[in-house]
């Protein structure tokens, strides 16, 4: 585990609902995420995927067990671990450039430097011409690119992505999958990416974690042995796709 960037050791997480019922979201989850890996998490709805990501980000704490970042317990959100959510989460009253500069502002970077860095990252995601636009002037795909630029601008060591392309149409989704891989191949942050889509996981990941129904456990860890860029038409793709779907269909 020493070269792992993030680890979960025997993590159990429960919530209390407003009706005072106990919900076990995760049980006996142990994972070691290798440095620079692209990891996708798939599993049935409600199995605890977002909860696991929130534990890694420090937004939630395990009920028992331990979550660590580079061998240190994760207690709170930090600049080393960036997060991108499904909903674009841009501030509507700030321009796109000012949204991208937000994390840099929190990190105390001087204003002049922030503007340059924000411009670089907007260029990286193909939004160079929209720096002064407001979020409502952008399409869903463009907003999500801006959210990715904002997360990347602080140069996090790990990028956690919770269904970032879930609200996009199929064409935009495929385009952004390609762009994300292009960026990742240049920067090689460790990425943990939650998705409902087995196809998306197979296209993106080095490692796919398949979770069971709630309480979520890690049911399988699949090393995706296909070179990139991946060809959805090859038999190996179809075979892995069918195997993972079958695992997700099983009751436990």
DSSP code of 169? -
When asked if residue 73 is in the footprint of ligand ATP (CB under 6 A), the reply is no
Minimum CB distance to ligand ATP, residue 62 (Å): 13
Pairing of strands 190-194, 38-42: parallel
Near ligand ATP by CB under 6 A: residue from 15, 79, 128, 129:
15
When asked if residue 156 is in the footprint of ligand ATP (CB under 6 A), the reply is no
When asked if residue 45 is in the footprint of ligand ATP (CB under 6 A), the reply is yes
Near ligand ATP by CB under 6 A: residue from 49, 143, 150, 217:
49
Kindly state the tokens that stand for 185.
């191949």
| CA-angle at 220, arms to 38 and 9, nearest 5° | 75
Which is nearer to ligand ATP, 41 or 124 (by Cβ)?
41
DSSP code of 48? S
Q: DSSP 3-state assignment of 181?
A: helix
- CB–CB of 203/237 below 8 Å? no
Minimum CB distance to ligand ATP, residue 104 (Å): 29
Give the number of C-alpha atoms closer than 13 A to the C-alpha of residue 113, restricted to the C-beta side: 9
When asked if residue 23 is in the footprint of ligand ATP (CB under 6 A), the reply is yes
Sheet holding 64-69, edge to edge: 22-34, 4-16, 64-69, 72-73
Residue 67's H or E segment, with its range, is strand 64-69
Residue 115's H or E segment, with its range, is helix 111-124
When asked if residue 214 is in the footprint of ligand ATP (CB under 6 A), the reply is yes
Residue 33's H or E segment, with its range, is strand 22-34
**Span of 17-25, 32-40, 73-81, 89-97 interacting with ligand ATP by CB under 6 A:** 17-25
When asked if residue 50 is in the footprint of ligand ATP (CB under 6 A), the reply is yes
When asked if residue 207 is in the footprint of ligand ATP (CB under 6 A), the reply is no
User: What x/- string results for residues 78 through 97 when contact with ligand ATP is judged by CB under 6 A?
Assistant: --------------------
Which is nearer to ligand ATP, 46 or 73 (by Cβ)?
46
When asked if residue 48 is in the footprint of ligand ATP (CB under 6 A), the reply is yes
Near ligand ATP by CB under 6 A: residue from 5, 8, 25, 209:
25
């Amino acid at each position: 585990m020493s070269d792992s960037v993030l680890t979960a050791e025997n993590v159990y997480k429960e919530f209390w609902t407003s009706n005072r019922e106990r919900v076990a979201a995760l049980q006996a989850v142990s994972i070691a995420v290798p440095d620079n890996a692209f990891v996708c998490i798939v599993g049935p709805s409600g199995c605890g995927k977002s909860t696991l990501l929130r534990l890694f980000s420090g937004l939630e704490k395990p009920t028992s067990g331990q979550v660590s970042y580079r061998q240190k317990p994760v207690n709170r959100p930090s600049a080393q671990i960036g997060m991108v959510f499904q909903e674009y989460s841009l501030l509507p009253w700030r321009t796109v450039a000012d949204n991208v500069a937000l994390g840099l502002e929190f990190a105390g970077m001087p204003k002049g430097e922030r503007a340059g860095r924000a411009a670089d990252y907007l260029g990286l995601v193909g939004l160079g011409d929209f720096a002064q636009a407001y979020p409502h002037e952008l399409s869903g795909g463009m907003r999500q690119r801006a959210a990715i630029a904002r997360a990347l601008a602080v140069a996090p060591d790990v990028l956690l992505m919770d269904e970032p392309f879930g609200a996009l149409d199929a064409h935009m989704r495929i385009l952004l999958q390609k762009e994300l891989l292009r960026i990742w191949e240049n920067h090689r942050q460790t990425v943990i990416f939650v998705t409902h889509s087995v196809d998306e996981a197979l296209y993106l990941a080095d490692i796919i974690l398949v979770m069971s129904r709630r309480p979520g456990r890690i049911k399988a860890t699949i090393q995706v042995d296909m070179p990139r860029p991946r060809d959805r038409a090859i038999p190996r793709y179809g075979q892995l796709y069918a195997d993972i779907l079958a695992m997700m269909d099983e009751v436990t």
